[in-house]
Every structure is written in C-alpha cells, then in structure tokens.
Amino acid sequence: MHIIKDYTNIETNKLLSLFVVPKQTINSTYLINNEKQLIKALKNNKRKQEFLQIRELRNNTIGKIEILYNNDGKPFLSDSDDFISISHSPNYIALLKAPFNIGLDIEEINERILKIKSRFLNEDELVLIGSTIENLTTAWTLKEAMFKLNSKTGIDFRKELLIKEKTDFGYLGEMLDMDGWRTVKLKSIQKENLIISYNFEPSILI
C-alpha cells in the first residue's frame, strides 16, 4: 500500500494529512524527549514495535514533533495546535493530522466481524449498513473513529455512537459527548482488504 499524503477535503477546504503504511519491524528510530521514557515503560514487544513504527512514520511525514498521551490515553502533539489520531491493524499503521479534533480507525476485513455485529450495531443500523463483511467492518471503523473523537468515558457503542445515514460525502453519525449530542461527518475508504474511516470536519453540537 502506498502512503496516502495530504488528503484535501474539497467540500470544506480543510487540509488533512493521512498516512497509511504496512507494518515493518524496526529496531530503533528518532525519539523526542519524553518518548524515550515512554518506550522504556512498555513491556509488551508488540506495543513497543507499534510505538516505534508510528514515530518512524511521524518522522518521515509530519516532522519530528513529540507525540504524547493525555490521561485517557489519547495521543496529542506537543507544542502544536494540530490534532492527531493513530490506528493499528495486524498489518498496517495509520496516522491522521488535522487542525481540528479527529478520530481515525483502520481495520482489515475479517469474517470475525459477523460474530460481534449485534454488540456494536442497533437494529436500525443493521438495516442501514447491511450484512456483508465489508459493510460491517466499515461500520465498526466508523464507530471506532467516533469513539476516538469522543471525550466521554464508558461509551455504549450501540446507544451513544450512532450511524444515522449514508450521504454523498460518506456517512453522518451522532455521538453523545461530555457536552451533549454531536453530529459527525465521516468518510470511509477501502484499500484492498483495509478499511480506513475518520471524521473530516469538526463535530457539531446538536
């Protein structure tokens, strides 16, 4: 898969930088300040690799800006007004940067989604989305993107992260945030067996 760079949304004239690359094992990369301490605290080798790989991707794309995490575990850029979101799948990593709060999720298509569809989709959504593996995977990534965008804890995927309709730009979602219900415009891309979903505008309080 090629890197997707500087994806421009024509409808809003907002610039998003979206990068998706295959995973590869690396032994080291350039780390900044607190990142050196963060990786020492990681005991799981898989998590260490993802930590290094996302920073290798960062170094080669958006520049050497420190990636830290807030109390909820969400990543942010130190000394930058831009927002980022990060996602991993078994074989890919992805990084999205924008001048507004964003949520990104990637997922490789797998029939296991059929077993859990009722856990994250309500009846109306199942009718709207359909029952193919591709569509269900898309729905999962849309909800995960909203989850990462959300600041609320203890979120109910079936009741508080909703896929309301398909549109000409992608999907319209609604989510219950700390301050109330928000409308979210979402886009979904399929590249081979990988589904990529993210919000491409700031969420709007209903």
Name all domains of the chain by residue range, CATH numbers in brackets: 8-104 (3.90.470.20), 105-205 (3.90.470.20)
Q: Residues 78-106: pLDDT tens digits? A: 989 999 999 999 999 999 999 999 999 99
Q: List all residues 6 or more positions away from 26 whose beta carbon is below 8 Å from its beta carbon.
A: 49, 52, 53, 56
| pLDDT tens-digit readout, 33-87 | 999 999 999 999 999 999 999 999 999 999 999 999 999 999 999 989 999 999 9
Residue from 46, 52, 50 nearest 27 by CA? 52
Prediction pTM value: 0.93
Q: Partners of 195 in the beta sheet?
A: 107, 190
Distance from C-alpha of 89 to C-alpha of 108, rounded to nearest angstrom: 7
Here the tokens at position 203 are 């969420």
